[in-house]
Amino acid sequence: MLILPTRRQVLGGFGASALTLSSGGAYAFIVEPRFRLALTRYGLTPPGWAPGHRLRIAVLADIHVCEPYMPLDRVAEIVAATNALAPDLILLLGDYPAGRKVTWHRVPLSDFARVAEGLRAPLGTYAVLGNHDWWDDPKAMRAGKGPVEIRRLLEARGIPVLENDAIRLTHDGRPFWIAGLADQEPFRPLGSRQSLADLPATLAQVTDAAPVILMAHEPDIFVNVPSRVSLTLSGHTHGGQIRVWGYSPVLPSRYGQRFAYGHVVEDGRHLIISGGLGVSQLGIRVGVPPEIVLIELGGEPPAA
């Protein structure tokens, strides 16, 4: 779905200088990051998942609320589009505030949480935190412990935040687990690469043989995810924000193109990496538009 900006939106959101951009530059800096909204579908039956159990999961990653790229009306549009998909379950993969480099005006996280409360799914909405959620809260980052501000705000709105936690859900009489890891690089601005993600402790909370869906903001931990996990879901990379012919020149991953974007299968283990919705570091997207991910477990891959 492509939504072109009106003249008023361009002038009001980006200033008259935007009119002087070339058409290609305008698309990269205005149209794709701010006005496009794609739906990316996956259908799969990963190991451990019953083929007859069809579960629809909507995934939202890297919202990065801020003006001008992700104002509240844009968040409301995403919430409405997600609800229209009638998912059974909604999962939020972290990074709710934007970084300073792309933020012209901050949007209060309390306002974001109020709009996010409008997400609707029979099995509920669950979240994990990302690196920007920590970096946006220097007090919590320096203290080395949560909850950071956005966790408190989301949970006050009825959206549980899983940090090295696992919960058991049931759908159509079949149980499964949702597990969520804490962030893997919360203290990087302080010069520390300490991770708060505790994969063994999280999976130790799984007490039966029901399949596990793991939420991990950064995909790099997938190298350590055991086959016990049916599906891992990540964001963080934004698909590089620039992606041409399946290649992303810059990626925030130690593994480069390996965990850039999309559906990755290694040794029978499945990982889906969302391209996310917002922007970070630079207000640009080319070839990887903001996306809502819809996963149908127990379903067939979508037609090409």
Residue range 39-68, pLDDT digits in tens: 999 999 999 999 999 999 999 999 999 999
- Mean predicted confidence (pLDDT) in 32-36: 94
Q: Are residues 89 and 3 in the same domain?
A: no
**What is the pLDDT at residue 23?**
66
Q: Are residues 28 and 156 in the same domain?
A: no
**What is the pLDDT at residue 13?**
39
Task: Return d(Cα 278, Cα 93) in angstroms, integer.
Answer: 12
Q: Are residues 164 and 23 in the same domain?
A: no
Q: Are residues 94 and 10 in the same domain?
A: no
Task: Return d(Cα 217, Cα 214) in angstroms, integer.
Answer: 10
Model-level pTM? Answer: 0.92
Q: Are residues 166 and 240 in the same domain?
A: yes
Q: Are residues 256 and 114 in the same domain?
A: yes
Asked whether residue 302 is assigned to any structural domain, the reply reads no
Residue 8 pLDDT level (bands cut at 50, 70, 90): very low
Q: What's the domain count of the chain?
A: 2
Query: For the domain that residue 161 is a member of, what is the CATH number?
Result: 3.60.21.10
Q: Are residues 150 and 7 in the same domain?
A: no
- Mean predicted confidence (pLDDT) in 283-287: 95
Domain encompassing residue 10: 1-36
Asked whether residue 304 is assigned to any structural domain, the reply reads no
Asked whether residue 303 is assigned to any structural domain, the reply reads no
Q: Are residues 13 and 157 in the same domain?
A: no
Task: Return d(Cα 232, Cα 273) in angstroms, integer.
Answer: 9
- Classified as helix, coil or strand, 272 is strand
Q: Are residues 23 and 150 in the same domain?
A: no
> Is the confidence at residue 269, as pLDDT, over 90?
yes
Q: Which of 115, 62, 46 is nearest to 235 (CA)?
A: 62
Q: Which backbone phi and psi does 44 adopt, to 5 degrees?
A: -160, 160
Q: Where are the alpha helices (DSSP H) in the chain?
A: 7-14, 23-26, 72-84, 109-116, 131-135, 138-143, 149-156, 199-203
- Mean predicted confidence (pLDDT) in 109-131: 98
pLDDT tens, residue by residue, 80-117: 999 999 999 999 999 999 999 999 999 999 999 999 99
